[in-house]
């Protein structure tokens, strides 16, 4: 898989692969941490039933907690990874000032934005990726919540409440 376009998004002489590994590892960890939603969801769903020997009977009139309450901090890993990626922006700017001082070369280029593009682009793409991943995971969890919960146990207006998280 060729990723040569990523070389143009980091300071000259810097390798993008360690950052890419950090980002992918962070996404995996955030995704695994987000699975804590299922623990809280199935606990809440289990509480909807009375359990007799090998039978479960739905308790009449009981409602499951709001999606936002069950989701809790399951997506915090994505936010934490996005904050870590902000640190890479600082690191990129500092990288220009070490060794051969490529900051002077970057300031002489015809495009004055090249310095900032190379310092900011890759971390901002990663932050955007975190936001998209968190949104996809949240929508998947919302689908599980809506489809796996008995209809009579759902509180109204869950879709509207979803956007107030």
Tokens 């299922």, located at residue = 38
In a domain, 14, yes or no: no
Enclosing domain of residue 144: 22-162
Name the pTM for this structure. 0.85
In a domain, 126, yes or no: yes
In a domain, 89, yes or no: yes
Question: Which range scores top for mean pLDDT: 4-8, 116-120, 121-125?
Answer: 121-125
pLDDT digits (tens, 9 = 90+) for 48-59: 999 998 899 999
In a domain, 155, yes or no: yes
In a domain, 16, yes or no: no
Closest residue by Cα to residue 67 from 134, 164, 142, 137: 142
Number of structural domains in the chain: 1
Q: CA 77, CA 50: separation in Å to the nearest integer? A: 34
In a domain, 136, yes or no: yes
Q: CA 125, CA 85: separation in Å to the nearest integer? A: 9
pLDDT digits (tens, 9 = 90+) for 10-47: 777 778 888 899 999 999 999 999 999 999 999 999 99
Does residue 2 have a pLDDT over 70?
Answer: no
Does residue 113 have a pLDDT over 80?
Answer: no
In a domain, 80, yes or no: yes
In a domain, 4, yes or no: no
Q: CA 62, CA 155: separation in Å to the nearest integer? A: 10
């Amino acid at each position: 898989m060729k990723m040569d376009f990523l070389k143009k998004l980091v300071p000259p002489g810097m390798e993008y692969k360690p950052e890419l590994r950090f980002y992918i590892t962070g996404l995996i960890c955030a995704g695994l941490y987000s699975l804590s939603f299922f623990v809280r969801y199935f606990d809440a769903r289990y509480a909807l039933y009375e359990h007799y020997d090998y039978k479960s009977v739905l308790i009449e009139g009981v409602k499951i907690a709001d999606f936002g309450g069950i989701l809790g901090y399951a997506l915090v890993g994505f936010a934490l990874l996005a904050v870590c990626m902000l640190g890479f922006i600082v690191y990129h700017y500092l990288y220009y000032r070490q060794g051969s001082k490529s900051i002077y070369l970057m300031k002489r280029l015809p495009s004055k934005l090249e310095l900032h593009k190379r310092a900011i682009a890759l971390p901002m793409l990663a932050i955007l990726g975190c936001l998209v991943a968190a949104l996809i995971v949240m929508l998947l969890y919302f689908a599980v919540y809506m489809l796996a919960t008995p209809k009579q146990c759902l509180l109204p207006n869950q879709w509207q409440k979803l956007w107030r998280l």
